Amino acid sequence: MLTHTEENYLKVIYHLSQTEDEGISTNAIAQKIDTKASSVTDMIKKLKEKKLITHERYQGVFITTLGLQTAKMIIRKHRLWEVFLVNKLNFNWDEVHDVAEELEHIKSEKLINALDAFLGFPKEDPHGDPIPNSKGEIPYREKELLTETKINHKYMCVGVKDTSAAFLQYLDRQKIALGSTFTVLKHENFDHSVTILFQENELTLSKVVAHNLFVKKI
């Protein structure tokens, strides 16, 4: 049985492992958790003791198969609760993160599977992130960053890389939501901004924005 804190560390290690082949550094974890490296070292010992990660002094952390499976179950819970909040309780997509962060630690397999069924076995959360099924399998969905697109092709917005309230609220103001479609008109070489034709209007999105929007060719 894991504590909330252990679950939070494991989730961070899982996410860092997604884009890192080497061991995850103590500092990288500390930065994500917003704590001190010494605290991370302490927690690493506990997670290692529970066989969720492997670790050699000064060599970084690797997540084990057990750790991977456990992390995916926490992420499953987080994302299902987010769907619940948005689809059933009418939360906006920028309001769900902190509450889901709490709800993800509720321990009941029956609860989460019943919730999954109640929601109609959704494949993605409100930010377009895939929801692991009860076996931990993560549905694959084609997606690329808006920065990588080809001009004169039509795309649909399918996800966000940055899930901060600030970014989501910016998208709301631009009327961009998951499912929105548009044509890419131009990639500006100078500042890497992207101009799209969206709802009959030309809209220029900065590099920062384009680099955090996942799209799919349609």
Partner DNA sequence: ATTAAATTTTAGACAAATCTAAAAATATTT
Partner DNA sequence: AAATATTTTTAGATTTGTCTAAAATTTAAT
- Residue ranges binding DNA (CB under 7 A): 3-6, 25-28, 33, 35-44, 46, 55, 57-60
Among 107, 150, 175, 217, binds its own copies (CB under 8 A): 107
The residues with which 145 forms a beta bridge, in sequence order, are 214
Among 1, 19, 65, 110, binds its own copies (CB under 8 A): 110
From DNA, its own copies, none, interface partner of 192 (C-beta below 5 to 8 A by class) = none
DSSP 58-88: TS-EEE-HHHHHHHHHHHHHHHHHHHIIIII
d(CA 92, CA 195): 26
From DNA, its own copies, none, interface partner of 132 (C-beta below 5 to 8 A by class) = none
Q: Rounded to the nearest whole angstrom, what is the least distance from the CB of residue 33 to DNA in the complex?
A: 7
Contact status: 88 vs its own copies (CB under 8 A): yes
Q: Of the candidates 129, 131, 138, 137, which has an alpha carbon nearest to the alpha carbon of residue 117? A: 131
Contact status: 37 vs its own copies (CB under 8 A): no
Contact status: 157 vs its own copies (CB under 8 A): no
DSSP 104-146: TT---HHHHHHHHHHTT--SB-TTSPBPP-TT--------EEG
Q: Rounded to the nearest whole angstrom, what is the least distance from the CB of residue 29 to its own copies in the complex?
A: 25
The answer to whether 185 touches 196, Cβ cutoff 8 Å, is yes
Q: Rounded to the nearest whole angstrom, what is the least distance from the CB of residue 179 to its own copies in the complex?
A: 23
Which of 86, 146 has the CB closer to its own copies? 86
Angle at 113 between CA 77 and CA 33, to 5 degrees: 10
Contact status: 169 vs its own copies (CB under 8 A): no
Among 36, 42, 56, 89, binds its own copies (CB under 8 A): 89
Q: Is 136 left (phi over 0), alpha (psi -120 to 50) or beta?
A: left
Contact status: 87 vs its own copies (CB under 8 A): no
Which of 44, 103 has the CB closer to DNA? 44
Q: Rounded to the nearest whole angstrom, what is the least distance from the CB of residue 163 to its own copies in the complex?
A: 18
Q: Of the candidates 18, 9, 21, 25, which has an alpha carbon nearest to the alpha carbon of residue 61? A: 25
Interface region with its own copies, contact rule CB under 8 A, candidates 111-119, 149-157, 159-167, 181-189:
111-119
Q: Which two tokens stand for residue 139?
A: 């549905």
Phi then psi for residue 123, to 5 deg, are -95, -25
Give the footprint of its own copies on this chain (CB under 8 A). Answer: 85, 88-91, 95, 98-99, 102-103, 106-108, 110-111, 114-115, 118
